[in-house]
Amino acid sequence: MISKKHLINALVFFVILVLLFFREYLYTYRMMLTNFVPYELYQNQVLFFSTFNDEYKMTLPAAVRLIPIFFYFIIYKTVPCFKLTNISGDISDDYVCATHAVALGNYILLILILVIFLYYQIIILGKSKQEGYLSIFLCYAILKYLDHFAIDRFVVLYLILILFFLNNLKVSVFLVIFSFMVSEKIFFITGILFFLRFFSQKNKKNYLIFFLSSLIAFIFYFGLIEIGKYYFEFFEFDFNYKQMFRMFYDKSAISGSLLPLLISLSAYIFWNKEINENYKNQRIEFLIPLALVFFGFLGGVENTARYVTHSFPIWLPILTSRINQLLKFN
């Protein structure tokens, strides 16, 4: 149960993180405006919904990830635009302010992820504060594998909220079903997770409901894509399974795919009796990060790290417990 003390501590922690990560937010904002690395320009979709100018249209499926886009849209419309110095004058004010909205939104999301993930472990998983803070240190490192210019942080936060409210059937079902407007990765992850837990855990009725909710989200997503085709072009994915072999010999692919995959699987590889007592019959869930490699066939082997990292709210608590055992951090 969330107590008043938890809320006060979370607020204090939130304020501390706001101060600590402010400079990172400025760096992110500048890198987005200068296109420091390639990324999906969700600021364009924000501008499209603001102006309905076709030149800002994104392609499907990114164009219909409506809830995170609406989150950035609200910031764009309500928060004063903070402009940086030494930025090219060729960039329009509208584009700068839309980019600011996405950068500011991801700054807020980073802090929310760290705070809520900490209290998810303390309140829901019953971990000690020491182990919770260790997990936050690891969480921040793992988050570096995500794209912090696009919606990845929103997707991860949404998954954490689903896990946080699993004991509240109505809230969790609502979140799972409406995940079709966030990202296909969420109901893909929850579908596998709840299918596995239906067979491995005791509360079979609830896990069946959660699994069916994931299927409903998939059906709604399919309908949303079909409707979206009337308004947006569909991005042509290149399904290339041969590129995935690069993760075993190419330096870029090793760091961008194999390494994060091994980190996620290590939570299950170094399983022991004590871990099994706390995470009973959950070792089979190694299939979740493994299954996310499938997205790499479509999005490129270098993006596999991003896809695997989306599932960290499931396996990082296990990995933290194992590291805690090794460090004897009581």
Q: What is the pLDDT of residues 222-237, one digit of tens each?
A: 999 999 999 999 887 7
* pLDDT above 60 (res 47): yes
pLDDT(330) > 60? no
Mean pLDDT, rounded, of the chain: 92
Beta carbons within 8 Å of 142's beta carbon, 6+ residues apart: 260, 263, 309, 312, 316
Report angle CA 320, 313, 198 to the nearest 5 degrees: 110
- Cβ atoms 68, 184 nearer than 8 A: no
Please compute the mean of the pLDDT values over residues 302-314 and round it to a whole number: 93
Q: Convert the pLDDT of each residue in 202-213 to its tens digit.
A: 899 999 999 999
| pLDDT band, residue 329 (cuts 50/70/90) | low
Give the domain ranges of the chain: 1-164, 169-232, 237-330
Q: How confident is the model at residue 250 (pLDDT cuts 50, 70, 90)?
A: confident
48 and 212 Cβ atoms separated by less than 8 Å = no
Q: Are 258 and 302 in contact (CB under 8 A)?
A: no
Mean pLDDT of 55-80: 96
Query: How does pLDDT run across 254-288, given as a tens digit for each residue?
Result: 887 889 999 999 999 999 999 999 999 999 999 99
Residue among 279, 306, 308 nearest 291 (CA): 308
